[in-house]
Structure 1
């Protein structure tokens, strides 16, 4: 549905919020609900005793399979939605799964075959204001993005810069 053009890759490398290495401090600053994008982020939140309301995982970290310890923590009993999402893309299935997972009052894991890296942007659009989206910043830590009108506006701008049908993507998210 949407694809990241090569010339825009740099725009997605800068953290969208403060970077944390201490999970407890991140949780003290986080809103509710929490959307976690990434296996290692989800692992750290669960080990700290906070199951994300929505976790988007793909079984990999920096394009390598996660270790057994992380995989064991990720293999929970939460409802799972299986989606396919190619690298550097946002599929309709991914967008619809994010909207469905946010609406569910119980924790949901979106398990991605492919790559989940771009899910942060639509997660900001579907999460309610006051929520937090947490994602991994390779080599640095965990990025905490508070869902505000400003972060939603930035996410909408970024989504609009992707190649593809932005209006259809917003529709799949249930966002106007």
Structure 2
């Protein structure tokens, strides 16, 4: 549905919130529900005792398969939604899965064939105010984004800069485009 144009890649490099290296400290400041985007982030939150309400994972970190220890922690009994999402894109299936997972009563894992990196932006748009979206900042730590009217607006603006039918994407996320 949406693709990241090459000239916009830099806009996604800067953290959208504070960066943490301690999962317990991050969790003490996080809202509810928690959406985790990334295998290593999900691993650290689970090891710290908090299963994210929504975890978006692809079995990889930095384009390489996660190690056995991380994979073992990620393998669980949670409801699982499988989606295809090519690198540098946001598929309709990804957007639908985020909305479905956020509406679920229990923890949900969205398992992505392809790449989950851009899922942070629609997760912020779709999550309720008061939630937190946590994603990995390579070689730095975990970024905590509090879902507020301002963060939702900024994420919506970023989404709007992607190539494709952004109005349909926002509508799929429950937002008037």
Query: TM-score higher than 0.5 here?
Result: yes
Q: Which residue of 1 is the match for residue 33 of structure 2? A: 33
Q: How many aligned positions are there?
A: 176
Q: How far apart are 1:173 and its partner, in Å?
A: 1.6
CA RMSD of aligned residues (A): 0.5
SS in 2 for 1:26: helix
SS in 2 for 1:124: helix
Q: Which residue of 1 is the match for residue 57 of structure 2? A: 57
- TM-score normalised by structure 1 residue count: 0.99
Q: Which residue of 1 is the match for residue 45 of structure 2? A: 45
Q: How far apart are 1:171 and its partner, in Å?
A: 1.8
Moved over 2 A (4+): none
2 CA distance for matches of 1:104 and 1:86?
Answer: 25
SS in 1 for 2:80: strand
2 CA distance for matches of 1:166 and 1:46?
Answer: 33
Deviations along 1:84-116, one digit per CA (max 9) or x if unpaired, are 000000000000000000000100000000000
Q: Which residue of 2 is the match for residue 93 of structure 1? A: 93
1 CA distance for matches of 2:148 and 2:34?
Answer: 13
SS in 1 for 2:134: strand
Q: Which residue of 2 is the match for residue 153 of structure 1? A: 153
SS in 2 for 1:112: strand
2 CA distance for matches of 1:77 and 1:36?
Answer: 17
Deviations along 1:28-50, one digit per CA (max 9) or x if unpaired, are 00000000000000000000110
Q: Which residue of 1 is the match for residue 124 of structure 2? A: 124
SS in 2 for 1:151: helix
2 CA distance for matches of 1:29 and 1:101?
Answer: 22
Mapped pair 1:143 → 2:143? yes
2 CA distance for matches of 1:8 and 1:62?
Answer: 20
2 CA distance for matches of 1:73 and 1:27?
Answer: 18
Q: Which residue of 1 is the match for residue 10 of structure 2? A: 10
- TM-score normalised by structure 2 residue count: 0.99
- Extract unaligned runs of 5+ from structure 1: none
Q: Which residue of 2 is the match for residue 73 of structure 1? A: 73
SS in 1 for 2:113: strand
